[in-house]
Amino acid sequence: MQKSAGLLANLGDSIEAIADHIVTMETRQLHQLLKLLPSKSEIASAEMVMGILVYREIELRRRRGTGGDVSPFPGLRTPPVQH
């Protein structure tokens, strides 16, 4: 049980690190990356998670009207969209 918790924590840290990197990418790069990812992927696969993170960042920028490149402050994560 403890080993599972440790693995889940590591997985969460990895996903967070990827999300932090995606926020720093140019919009053009995000679109290119999205094109490289498979359009259909296995549920909960790395490809699916990456696609969701990339699509979410593109959509957040579109909603904010910052479809162009952004320069976030280091360590500053993109806040979730409020509905």
DSSP labels for 64-80?
HT--S---PPTTPPPPP
Could you tell me what percent of the chain has a pLDDT over 90? 67
Domain of residue 60 covers 2-64
Q: Is 77 a domain residue? A: no
Q: Is 20 a domain residue? A: yes
- Mean pLDDT computed over 45-51: 93
- Mean pLDDT computed over 43-52: 92
Q: Is 70 a domain residue? A: no
pLDDT of residue 83: 46
For the whole prediction, is pTM greater than 0.75?
A: no
What's the mean pLDDT when you consider all of the chain?
A: 84
- CB neighbour class for 57 (10 Å; exposed up to 12, middle 13-18, buried from 19): buried
pLDDT at 27 over 50: yes
